[in-house]
């Protein structure tokens, strides 16, 4: 299984961090590979919401990466499943209030089919790059 995780502390309350993360329309502000995004169905930031997302794929080609929010616990947890595209990881943002703000732990997991396991290290690198963007999230939210 391909796995990546990262953690950052953001100097803002957990409810504010959650609200920003839960609104998928904020993704282009901090995730460099997001070309476009729209709420496809459901209520923004709630379980069941589906976002249609176009990402920058290999060689700059557009790639679908639609995702569905599978669990939304304001101020605590936001989980999702990618539902379109060649790779369909599950991810979660676990939020914990600290004395200095909110610790955000972001993890991605992808079970690769047997025939694609030779790509495990490449997929893991891509996922590691994605979770590393938490530093961008911190900068954007703290800048207000």
The CATH class that applies to domain 2-143 reads alpha beta
Q: Is 106 helix (H, G, I), strand (E, B) or coil?
A: strand
pLDDT in tens, the chain (144 residues): 889 999 999 999 999 999 999 999 999 999 999 999 999 999 999 999 999 999 998 888 999 999 999 999 999 999 999 999 888 999 999 999 998 899 999 999 998 765 555 555 666 788 889 999 999 999 999 998
Residues 69 and 81: their CA atoms lie apart, in Å, by: 7
Domain ranges of the chain: 2-143
For residue 20, give every residue at least 6 positions away whose Cβ sits within 8 Å of its Cβ, in sequence order, or none: 26, 137, 140, 141
């Amino acid at each position: 299984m391909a796995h990546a995780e990262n953690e950052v502390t953001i100097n803002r309350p957990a409810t504010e961090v959650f609200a920003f993360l839960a609104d998928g329309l904020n993704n282009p502000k901090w995730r460099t590979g997001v070309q476009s995004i729209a709420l496809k169905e459901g209520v923004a930031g709630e379980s069941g919401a589906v976002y249609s997302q176009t990402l920058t794929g290999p060689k700059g080609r557009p790639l679908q990466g639609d995702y569905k929010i599978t669990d939304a616990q304001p101020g605590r947890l936001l989980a999702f499943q990618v539902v379109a595209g060649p790779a369909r990881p599950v991810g979660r943002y676990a939020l914990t209030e600290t004395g200095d703000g909110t610790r955000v732990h972001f993890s991605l997991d992808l079970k690769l089919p047997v025939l694609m396991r030779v790509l495990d290290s490449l997929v893991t690198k891509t996922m590691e790059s994605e979770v590393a963007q938490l530093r961008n999230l911190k900068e954007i939210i703290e800048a207000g």
